[in-house]
Structure 1
């Protein structure tokens, strides 16, 4: 639940391998998103990321390895939805990336797939592409 006047936030995991980035698609959705989710009351970003990645991909995030990639925001009145803020981190993990029941599929996208993700996720794609991390 988001407090009145607060911008909804998501803590997201950005995993780049071989100039491709990991994304997931939930059942009933067409667009792909970075793994992650909303904080539970009292959770830190690290606690949120550990819990969400475990719930979605059954992998264990190493919170000590988390590095802030950036915070991306779309404003009020955005045609997709808005306002919305996504706080992105890279982090090491243990375990296979196995989609849970809530995840219909995982994929490894290049910059050419940018049109298949949400507006705020596309901003992350742009940032990764600008730094040469995403082909």
Structure 2
């Protein structure tokens, strides 16, 4: 089994969760990405979030949320993605940048629009009454 290791930033506001769609994609994904050599989780996540959304995460407010795993979207069967999720405050105004074409706020009813691992996170958040 191949495992893709990714980081994600989970931002919930008024029971809705921030999601993004990259150019040329139909599925939505939580913002984040892969670590570069030598980067800590915060360094990688902060870099990715700044590149994708033009905001800066505040390190002191960042909290580990959980690790989730599922079949990787758009990959052959057996390729799994492991998503290490964090929450945290930020400075700046969220705006699509880099490869991000669209930024949306989803409720649980939008679950089918996101990748398989994000669907697991949607369920987990709904069980904890954090998502409408």
TM, length-normalised to structure 2:
0.92
Aligned residue in 1 for 2:120: 123
Corresponding residue to 1:26 among 16, 22, 26: 22
Find runs of 4+ consecutive structure 1 residues off by over 6 angstroms.
Answer: 78-81
In 2, Cα distance between equivalents of 1:79 and 1:12 = 22
Aligned residue in 1 for 2:67: 71
In 2, Cα distance between equivalents of 1:123 and 1:43 = 26
Report SS of the residue matched to 1:56: helix
TM, length-normalised to structure 1:
0.90
Aligned residue in 2 for 1:11: 7
Number of residue pairs aligned between Structure 1 and Structure 2:
130
Aligned residue in 1 for 2:38: 42
Distance of aligned partners of 1:119 and 1:79 in 2 relative to their CA distance in 1, 3 Å threshold: farther
In 2, Cα distance between equivalents of 1:27 and 1:103 = 6
Q: Which structure's residues are more often strand, by fraction?
A: 2
Superposed CA RMSD in Å reads 1.9
**Match status 1:90 vs 2:77:** no
In 2, Cα distance between equivalents of 1:20 and 1:80 = 30
Gapped runs of 5+ residues in structure 1?
none
Measure how far apart 1:115 and its partner are: 0.1
In 2, Cα distance between equivalents of 1:9 and 1:94 = 26
In 2, Cα distance between equivalents of 1:101 and 1:75 = 25
